Chains A and B, each alone.
Chain A
Amino acid sequence: MIAVDDLVVSFGDDDEVKRAVDGIGFEVREGETFGLVGESGCGKSTVLRVLAGLNPSYDGRLRIAGRDIGPRRDKALMKSVQMVFQDPYGSLHPRQTVNAQLMEPLRIQGLDDAAGRVERALDAVGLGPAFRYRYPHQLSGGQRQRVAIARALILEPDVLLLDEPTSALDVSVQAEVLNLLADLKAAGGLTYVLVSHDLGVIAHMCDRLAVMTEGRIVEELDVQELVAGAARHPYTVTLLRASETYGEGGVPAATSETNEATIPEPRKT
């Protein structure tokens, strides 16, 4: 479904170029859920933004649904790849009602039966018609994320990119959203790319995953392999151990900074 080859994304100007994504390649099969794991700042969101077509300045080859994709995309192609963002508080327009935000993609793409589609989309994510004319500030975090999912799915895309979709949510709400995503996928026709820093979520949702550090993929494996402890790269092993420590109780002995760069790159917003 998706094939990425030697993808490079750089930020900054001539005298200070930073490669946020440094030559990565991976393939996502149709109907699969592909996980992307790594510490913050390693370039996960940047990869998703390139896949979504939000970042046209990249080098490398990109194929989606068997077509070579250039930096410029037409409307039909935009429709087939949709994204759900991390922060439910920043991903909905604060001055538009839920209805307006769900109608907009339909108008842009010129789809018919807009009112019916909005109703069905809200229904599909478990929000009744009562939510239709609310503003985002009248919704909880979980409800916002449902609206964001409805907005992405209302265009009936082939690929859904999920950028840490539950990291801002409570576990109880996370469970609802993850179940919802699983149900929507079971209904057919969707391929997921899921970014998360929570290996529990990855293990629950994904078929395969890639582990990134500093703009590179250092390991790619099946979820069964991960769970069985077959990960080889030291970072994957550390990550797995850190995630497991939680469930089993006890905190390992104090150590000096290891995985953390002492001075991060200057942040640009």
Chain B
Amino acid sequence: MHEPLLRVDGLHVSFRTHRGLVNAVRGVSFEVGREKVGIVGESGSGKSITGRSVMRLLPPAAEARANRLSFRDIDLLRASEKQMLDIRGGQIGLIMQDPKYSLNPVVRVGDQIAEAYRLHRGGNRKAARASAMAMLEAVKIRDPERVYRLYPHEVSGGMGQRIMIATMLLAEPDLLIADEPTSALDVTVRLEVLSILDELIETRGLGLIFISHDLNLVRAFCDRVLIMYAGRIVEELPASELEHARHPYTQGLLAALPRIHERRERLAVLQRDPDWLDGPTYR
């Protein structure tokens, strides 16, 4: 395997609230190379907080500590804010669930892509525009000339997510963090966006952290899967081995899925075991 891009060791994140300290992430360790790593778990299990810790984009009430949190040879915990600005969107890209919140509503989408290009790569307007256009084509937008001139509210969810991917990839990052990038999309559109993401990642050899609550999606899309439960990784395994997961939580999640070709009277309901909170991690 390649040399890891991102190393996370013993990451803890806690929030100060009026009811006391909330430990959102409790000792998470993993590495990401030039591969597609999925993080799955139910809502509140700490997936987004883990992703945001890497970008150092935590809310002010949060406090993060780790034995190690490094991207290549940069210590992300100690990096200056200036260094982080360069890393965010430059070397690590972030794609979020709803592109509407990530795009500036009053600037044409093409101009936003071009602006992102100039920010990270410099160059004149004309070159930026040409690159933006090429990028729109790379995310399989059929009529880039027309789409370039649209405003964010004029594009559909799937198109918006393609544009976000284009914006993120222009800076040629090495690692992409996608937080539920397709959860707001229709099933058919979802597959199209995923296949575009897949193709671009393969051809450019990027690393990807794919955060999702959808086990099926991650199984189909990723190389490796981390299962999170209550702020910890309880199981880590190759996506192809998911069917043979050993942790009862992972098994429970799989059994709870309704299947098209397997009609059952009742769906299996997850029986939560308090031991999972601090139990072993299956690797």
Contacts and interface: CB of A to CB of B under 8 A. Distances in A.
Interface in A225-250: 226-227, 238-240, 242-250
A260 interface: yes
Interface stretch (B67-75, B127-135, B173-181, B266-274): B266-274
A76 interface: no
B219 A246 contact: yes
A171 B42 CA distance: 8
B259 A197 contact: no
Contacts of B259: 200, 203-204, 247
B269 A175 contact: yes
B186 A243 contact: no
Interface in B186-219: 186-192, 194-196, 198-199, 213-217, 219
Interface in A124-142: 141
Given A171-B257, A256-B142, A246 B216 contact: yes
Interface residues of B, number: 53
Interface in A99-149: 141
A249 B216 CA distance: 8
B215, B217, B220, B240 — which one has the most chain A CB atoms within 10 A of its CB?
A: B220
Nearest to B150: A263
Interface of A is mostly: helix
Interface of B is mostly: helix
Contact of B269 (A39, A141, A176, A263): A176
B240 to A, nearest CB: 7
A191 B187 CA distance: 27
Which range holds the interface residue count of chain A?
A: 35 or more
A244 B188 CA distance: 11
B42 A227 contact: no
A252 B188 CA distance: 11
B240 A249 contact: yes
Contact of B156 (A179, A197, A261): A261
Interface string B241-253: 0000000000011
B145 interface: no
B28 interface: no
Contacts of B256: 171-172, 174-175
A256 to B, nearest CB: 5
A246 B156 contact: no
A259 B189 contact: yes
A48 B189 CA distance: 24
28 contacts: A39-B188, A170-B43, A172-B253, A175-B256, A175-B267, A175-B269, A178-B267, A179-B269, A182-B266, A197-B187, A200-B258, A203-B261, A204-B259, A204-B267, A242-B190, A245-B220, A249-B220, A249-B240, A252-B191, A254-B196, A255-B140, A255-B195, A257-B140, A260-B186, A260-B192, A262-B142, A262-B147, A262-B156
Interface of A: 39-40, 141, 170-176, 178-179, 182, 197-201, 203-205, 226-227, 238-240, 242-264, 267
Given A249-B240, A262-B159, 6 more contacts: A243-B187, A246-B219, A247-B216, A262-B155, A263-B155, A267-B153
